[in-house]
Amino acid sequence: MIRFILLQNRQGKTRLAKYYVALEDSEKHKVEYEVHRLVVNRDPKFTNFVEPCDT
């Protein structure tokens, strides 16, 4: 099940966010931070699609 879609720039600023489940603002911020933290340190050869463990 897709819970959300995020598009972020390399600095971590969210450019597009679509949530398909109800989340509080603090939870949304936490999700966006965690996704950025996972993606920014990846090797450029890796995909930037992630599956966060818990939301």
Handedness of CA 41, 48, 5, 17 (dihedral sign): positive
Closest of 13, 5, 7, 14 to residue 52, by C-alpha: 5
For 23-37, what is the mean pLDDT?
93
Q: What is the largest distance, in Å, between two alpha-carbon atoms of the chain?
A: 34
C-alpha to C-alpha distance for 36 and 14, rounded to whole angstroms: 9
How confident is the model at residue 31, as a pLDDT? 92
How confident is the model at residue 14, as a pLDDT? 94
Distance of CA 11 to the CA centre of its chain: 13
Question: Does the pLDDT value for residue 52 go beyond 80?
Answer: no
Model pTM score: 0.79
- Give the residue with greater pLDDT, 28 vs 55: 28
Confidence of residue 53 (pLDDT cuts 50, 70, 90): low
Spans of all domains in the chain? 4-40
Q: Which residues contact 53 (CB under 8 A, 6 or more apart)?
A: none
